[in-house]
């Protein structure tokens, strides 16, 4: 029996995380929701082997996505978890311009995006990182 992949969703937009969770669950994934970077770090460090992918917003209060990703990459327990960064600033936060561009295993999706596009990108990342 195949392992159900678990995705940690990190975004301060509560409605968006709920929508992404419903869509991803309907696509066969399990989701965990976090609304800020510090909570995401706590969740990821508490159960790193059960998280298969992290989808993280770039812009969040308190600890933004870039800082959170840096902490995740610095911790050996979470360093290899693939990350999909979500950004609404296509011109500033794309891989060529973002402060996160030097962080390994970071993919990007630009807001607004179609939920079908999100599911396709999630599947692609998870298949690549088998």
| pLDDT one-digit tens code per residue, 60-88 | 988 889 899 999 999 999 999 999 999 87
pLDDT tens readout for residues 18-34: 999 999 999 999 999 99
DSSP per-residue codes, the chain: -PPPPEEEEE-S-HHHHHHHHHHHHHTT-EEEEESSHHHHHHHHHHSGGG--EEEEES--SSS-HHHHHHHHHHSTTTTTS-EEEEES-TTTSSTTTSGGGGSTTEEEEESS--HHHHHHHHHHHHHHT-
Q: Where exactly are the structural domains of the chain?
A: 6-128
Whole-model pTM: value is 0.89
What is the rounded average pLDDT of the residues 10-17? 95
Q: Is the pLDDT of residue 97 over 80?
A: no
- To which CATH superfamily is domain 6-128 assigned? Response regulator (3.40.50.2300)
């Amino acid at each position: 029996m195949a392992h159900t992949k678990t995705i940690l969703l990190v975004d301060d937009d509560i409605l968006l995380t709920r929508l992404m969770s419903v869509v991803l669950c309907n696509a066969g994934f399990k989701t965990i929701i976090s609304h800020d970077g510090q909570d995401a770090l706590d969740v990821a460090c508490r159960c790193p082997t059960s998280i298969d992918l992290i989808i993280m917003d770039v812009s969040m209060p308190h600890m933004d996505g870039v800082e959170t990703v840096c902490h995740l990459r610095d911790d050996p327990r979470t360093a290899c978890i693939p990350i999909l960064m979500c950004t609404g600033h296509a011109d500033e936060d794309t891989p060529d311009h973002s402060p996160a561009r030097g962080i390994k295993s970071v993919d990007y999706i630009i807001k607004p995006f179609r939920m079908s596009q999100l599911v396709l990108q999630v599947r692609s990342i998870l298949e690549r990182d088998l």
